[in-house]
Amino acid sequence: MFDSVAFIGLGAMGYRMAAHLPAHIANVMVWNRTFEKAQQHAIEYGTQAVSLQDAVQADVIISCLPTSEDVQKLLDQIQPKAGSIWIDCTSGEPDQAKPIAARLAAHQVQYLDAPVSGQTIGAQNATLTFMVGGDHTTFLQAQPLLQHMGQLIQYVGESGAGFAVKAINNMLLAVNLCAVAEGFTTLKAHGVSLPDALKCINASSGKSMVTETVLPQRILNREFPLTFALPLLAKDTGIAMKLVHQAKLAAPVLAQTQMMIQAAHLTAQPDSDFSAAVKMYEQWSKITLE
């Protein structure tokens, strides 16, 4: 096991993920751009709030930032320790994984792309799914550490593969979000009770994570709690489409979904939860999904 782990990026996910580490690791350092958050984490969970330069001297660095561009900017400022492992939980760009890995390899640092799924509740309960790309031996070294924060720690292929699986997963979430909004609006327009329809669909072949949790827990109750921001879902669908374009494939339903999520994001309130994408459809139809 590792003596020291540094966690970089204490957002809604990272803050909760890092909280599990002190129970297993002697020296858990945390760093965040808004440094008060790191200090608060230290008080709350017994981690150490340190400078960025100190953080990158850890045996393992875990980063959890909004975009791959943010990771690249971070790398401009630091000198990581040779022999360490960098685990990047950002929902990043697959075609950035190899360039980032190469930059770190120049410092003798191994890089894993290891984005997560499971939202803040999964981060809190250590039930996240980690989709990991990179060197397989490094993965085996990192796996026990990730197990402290997640349930399924899955190796999916070479550098960038983790980011790719995450992007497609979130695209499938987006597809269901749009399709459910469109389908349930149609049912309500025809006088069908949405809770009754939902019971049927959740016992049938049309069910998905969106019908099982997003629709009842976020939309029908009109709560739209901000745990995964709509602009981030828009970003992820964009990453998925980039994968489609790079492979020169035809993916019409994904392309269509990306456009709808993009339109929903462009017309949404700032700080909207991803589930609020349905509000675009509600504005179109004057039908409220409740």
Residue 269 has φ and ψ, to the nearest 5°, of -60, 150
Tokens of 94: 């697959």
**Of these, 38, 243, 276, 289, which contacts a copy of itself (CB under 8 A)?**
243
User: Which residues, in sequence order, are CB contacts of 204 under 8 Å at separation 6+?
Assistant: none
Q: With binding defined as CB under 8 A, does residue 121 bind a copy of itself?
A: no
**Of these, 256, 269, 271, 290, which contacts a copy of itself (CB under 8 A)?**
256
Cβ contact 215:274 at 8 Å: no
| 3-class state of residue 18 by DSSP | helix
What is the nearest approach in angstroms of a copy of itself to the Cβ of residue 246?
Answer: 8
Task: Spell out, one character per residue from 62 to 91, where the chain touches a copy of itself: x when CB under 8 A holds, - when not.
Answer: ------------------------------
- Cα separation, 141 vs 145, whole angstroms: 8
Q: With binding defined as CB under 8 A, does residue 227 bind a copy of itself?
A: no
What is the nearest approach in angstroms of a copy of itself to the Cβ of residue 29?
Answer: 29
Q: Say what the alpha-carbon torsion angle 115, 119, 120, 123 is, to the nearest 10 degrees.
A: -50
**Of these, 240, 276, 277, 289, which contacts a copy of itself (CB under 8 A)?**
240
Q: With binding defined as CB under 8 A, does residue 140 bind a copy of itself?
A: no
Q: Which residue's structure tokens are 């998925």?
A: 240
Q: With binding defined as CB under 8 A, does residue 289 bind a copy of itself?
A: no
Q: With binding defined as CB under 8 A, does residue 253 bind a copy of itself?
A: yes
**Of these, 267, 269, 271, 290, which contacts a copy of itself (CB under 8 A)?**
267
What is the nearest approach in angstroms of a copy of itself to the Cβ of residue 3?
Answer: 30
β-bridge mates for residue 111, sequence order: 86
Cβ contact 70:92 at 8 Å: no
Q: With binding defined as CB under 8 A, does residue 207 bind a copy of itself?
A: yes
User: Which residues, in sequence order, are CB contacts of 9 under 8 Å at separation 6+?
Assistant: 31, 32, 63, 64, 65, 90
β-bridge mates for residue 49, sequence order: 30
Q: Give the residue from 88, 214, 128 showing the smallest Cα distance to 75.
A: 88
What is the nearest approach in angstroms of a copy of itself to the Cβ of residue 215?
Answer: 11
- Cα separation, 24 vs 20, whole angstroms: 8
Q: With binding defined as CB under 8 A, does residue 30 bind a copy of itself?
A: no
Q: With binding defined as CB under 8 A, does residue 139 bind a copy of itself?
A: no
What residues between 146 and 185 interact with a copy of itself by CB under 8 A?
Answer: 151-152, 154-158, 160-161, 164-165, 168-173, 175-176, 178-180, 182-185
Q: With binding defined as CB under 8 A, does residue 266 bind a copy of itself?
A: yes
